[in-house]
Structure 1
Amino acid sequence: MKRFEPLWLALIVIGALNWLAIGLFDTNVVAEIFGTGTATGVVYVIVGIAGLAMVPRLLEEIRLGAGRTHATG
């Protein structure tokens, strides 16, 4: 699964940029490109799968980060 992480991350960023465009400009870029049909739904499903695929990695980072000590200065 780790070999797919760059792809998952790219899809997550694309999804985040789409939500940014929706929030700032009230424009759904995915719907503009793919229309409002099945293709748009497929894109959303793929982006959702990418997000779920990265959950184990996120949990791994949280567990690893819990044991780290922070330098105080």
Structure 2
Amino acid sequence: MGKVALTLVIVGALNWLLVGLFEWDLVSALLGGDSHRESSWFSRIVYILVGLSGLYCIRFLFTDDARAKT
């Protein structure tokens, strides 16, 4: 269950990265809705930071969970 939740968080963060960099919402494009978002520069910076954090979290998908259980 933890890997599924982490995967969803990463996908969401990568979506925000796309919104921050290109003002394009991947989830809306795939599932229907307005895929183009107008954002202020400040909010775009926050979206980019969230997206970069998601990229960083990809490494946690491949770590051993044994350390977390002890």
Pairwise TM-score range, normalised by the shorter structure: 0.3 to 0.5
- Using the size of structure 2 for normalisation, the TM-score is 0.47
Q: TM-score, normalised by structure 1?
A: 0.45
